A and B are shown apart, each in its own frame.
Chain A
Amino acid sequence: MVGKDRKLRLAVSALGLGLGMLLAQGAAEAADKVKVGLMLPYTGTYASLGNAITNGFKQYVAEQGGKLGGREVEYFVVDDESDAAKATENANKLVKRDNVDVLVGTVHSGVALAMAKVARDSKTLLIIPNAGADELTGPLCAANVFRTSFSAWQPAHAMGKVVAERGHKNVVTLSWKYSFGEQSVAGFKEAFEQAGGKVVKELYLPFPNVEFQPFLTEIANLKPDAVFVFFSGAGAAKFVKDYEASGLKANLPLYAPGFLTDGTLDAMGGAGEGLLTTLHYADGLDNAKEKAFRSGYVAAYKIQPDVFAVQGYDSAQLLAAGLSKAPAGAFDKEAVMNAMSAATIDSPRGAFTLSKANNPVQDIYLRKAEGSQNKVIGVAAAKLADPARGCKLMK
């Protein structure tokens, strides 16, 4: 009996040792890897944006020989479907089940707000490659939440200055009534009224309604000097067509953040020609990084990159900047975060740094729609930083 017992104990300890070695080996392997959780829309309206961001991210990783800061990249992918109701559960899958080091996502602001909450609670590093809600780097900012895109405030604020400089005094605004639209209008109004203009009326319609005709009639009735709108995607295409068909475009200049004309100019069938918009990216930017990025992207994916691909690319660059300064071995979040905050990103849009709230401090370009391109015609606001109102990191 004794002999049998000892044999069993030996077997158990041998098994334990073996398991321990396996685990140790696993840990050693993990130390050389960085686990990246991509939570982006791969189905639904924003699918093409999610794909562009993923393409951009993977392009930079490929340029670095499949490694970021000397670490192999292991991807965990979740389709967020742009569904805010599922966002917390989806983010938790990546954080708790897959144990990712970095969460990257997403396009839809509502989903991103839920992701930011998960990131704050679990202290996971989060890089937001698109969602522009002001809150993300405002009242909800956190040392572990980064953004490589823009805040709603940025392009709209830059446009406020431009419209005032072009001599317009009275402006009517029109937007969908949801937070991104309202934040855009607020950013525009702030800059425009500071420069001496006046927003005579803010018009809103419920999202995603596209019955613009009553609003166009109302605008014609109010007789402003110019109109500022926020729309994007299919709604933007329809609005610009309706605006032209109503005869307003000929007499009443239209201004908007660049979302109005990005990816929609072809669908407008010429109605968008000549429109001025502001954004942190444009066609025809003349810098070496942009040229290399563009040719690399076209070679890899056989399509032209867009602003979303740039944001995905820069998300990978930002992560690489953090990882390259961190010590080898286990993933040292603090070191990565600190290095990311201090990084200067050599982006195709032009170099940018991060504000204390971790939002890009970047040039906002003035663009003019020509054919199917938004050609850069100048810098509307240089090194524009979001005020990050309500962010505790700013103190």
Chain B
Amino acid sequence: MDFTSFLIQILNALQYGLLLFLVASGLTLVFGIMGIINLAHGSFYMIGAYLAFALSSLTGNLMLAIVLGIPLAFGFGALLERLLFVHLYKRDHLQQVLLTYGLILIFEELRSLTVGDDVHGVAIPELFSASIALSENLSYPVYRLVISVVCIALAAGLWWLMQRTRLGMMIRAGSFNREMVQSLGVNIDMLYRTVFALGVALAALAGMLAAPISSVYPGMGGNVLIISFVVVVIGGIGSVWGALVAALLVGFADTFGTVLMPDLAGLAVYLLMAVVLLWRPEGIFRKG
């Protein structure tokens, strides 16, 4: 590997890591702050991708589709919380797993009934469809760079929301002591609903952004779910900052794993997880 391709691989790792962060951030919020193990998180990613497909075929513009899709996903998340997840807070993890696993099956079947089982493509917006030449025979699609920029902006935005706003303060307080926050006059139900809807919207946004490069296909949420849980566990449950660091680590492990030890490529990410958990059983940044 020469130096140029080494640099390009670093770019690949960063870009993959940032997209992983976008998916995992919603999961870590819901898991860490609300204490819900949400196996349906991958389904929200899939729903986002299918929303991008449906809305961009309807409007002819992916960016418009995303602008429309985010409030739809947020509203859908709030509705789900009101109808289903609200009943889970006081129940144990097994019941959460049962409900959210059931949701995976329902969403997959609904997708099959409404859109079918074919693979669909989503066009990259005209504005970002160019590529930048990186070496004599390799170029990099601008759209991938745009995704990375959006992810960085969202990471900064989430950090600001959690650490610097009143809402973030209430969310953090609510995750420590629900009753205390409630008795201080905060509408904790509304707060939890917001957090959950935010988690759903983040997953859906990740699906919408990834749709043009990943295509839209049955079962696409499953793979994402597993790797997202890896990121959340490595980063420390509930920590947005941890999810970012962990996602980047996973991006690097996966990319350089495939280049440096191709026979063990599938293993690199899980080796990383094992090492991190031996070193810090609660993840790199424990919730605090």
Contacts and interface: CB of A to CB of B under 8 A. Distances in A.
Contacts of A48: 116-118
Nearest to A47: B117
Contacts of A208: 223
B68 interface: no
A21 interface: no
A213 B116 CA distance: 28
Of B140, B217, B220, most buried by chain A (CB within 10 Å of CB) is: B217
Interface stretch (B91-99, B186-194, B258-266): B258-266
B131 interface: yes
B134 to A, nearest CB: 9
Of A204, A214, A218, most buried by chain B (CB within 10 Å of CB) is: A214
B15 A213 contact: yes
B181 to A, nearest CB: 41
Contacts of A241: 121, 213, 215
B254 interface: yes
A234 B217 contact: yes
Interface stretch (A152-160, A182-190, A245-253): A245-253
Contacts of A234: 119, 215, 217-218, 220
B124 to A, nearest CB: 8
B138 A216 contact: yes
B176 to A, nearest CB: 37
B217 A247 contact: no
Interface in B205-237: 213-220, 223
B154 interface: no
Interface in A232-273: 233-234, 237-238, 241-242, 245-248, 251-252, 263-264, 266-269
Interface stretch (B5-13, B82-90, B156-164, B196-204): B5-13
A44 B218 contact: yes
A194 B120 CA distance: 38
A216 B258 CA distance: 11
A77 interface: no
Nearest to A206: B266
B255 interface: yes
B1 A221 contact: yes
Contacts of B219: 44-45
B262 A203 contact: yes
Interface residues of B, number: 46
Interface string B5-41: 1001100110110000000000000000000000000
Contact of B139 (A204, A205, A221, A246): A246
A217 B121 CA distance: 23
Nearest to B139: A247
Contact of B259 (A204, A218, A247): A218
A45 B117 contact: yes
A233 B216 CA distance: 11
A211 B16 contact: yes
A213 B140 CA distance: 10
B119 A264 contact: yes
B184 interface: no
Contacts of A220: 5, 8, 135, 137-138
Contacts of A214: 9, 12-13, 254-256, 258-259
A210 B16 CA distance: 11
B141 A245 contact: yes
A360 B128 CA distance: 47
Given A205-B258, A213-B15, A248-B137, A242 B120 contact: no
Interface string B264-283: 01100000000000000000
B117 A238 contact: no
A215 B137 contact: no
Contacts of B8: 217, 220
A238 B215 contact: yes
Interface of B: 1-2, 5, 8-9, 12-13, 15-16, 112, 116-123, 131, 133, 135, 137-141, 143-144, 213-220, 223, 254-256, 258-259, 262-263, 265-266
Interface of A: 43-45, 47-48, 177, 203-206, 208-211, 213-218, 220-221, 223, 233-234, 237-238, 241-242, 245-248, 251-252, 263-264, 266-269
16 contacts: A45-B219, A205-B258, A209-B266, A211-B16, A213-B12, A214-B255, A214-B259, A217-B138, A218-B259, A234-B215, A245-B143, A246-B138, A246-B139, A247-B137, A264-B119, A267-B217
Shortest Cβ-Cβ A-B pairs, 6 listed: A206-B266, A234-B217, A247-B139, A220-B138, A267-B121, A245-B141
Given A215-B258, A217-B138, 7 more contacts: A43-B112, A177-B265, A214-B9, A217-B5, A234-B119, A247-B138, A268-B121
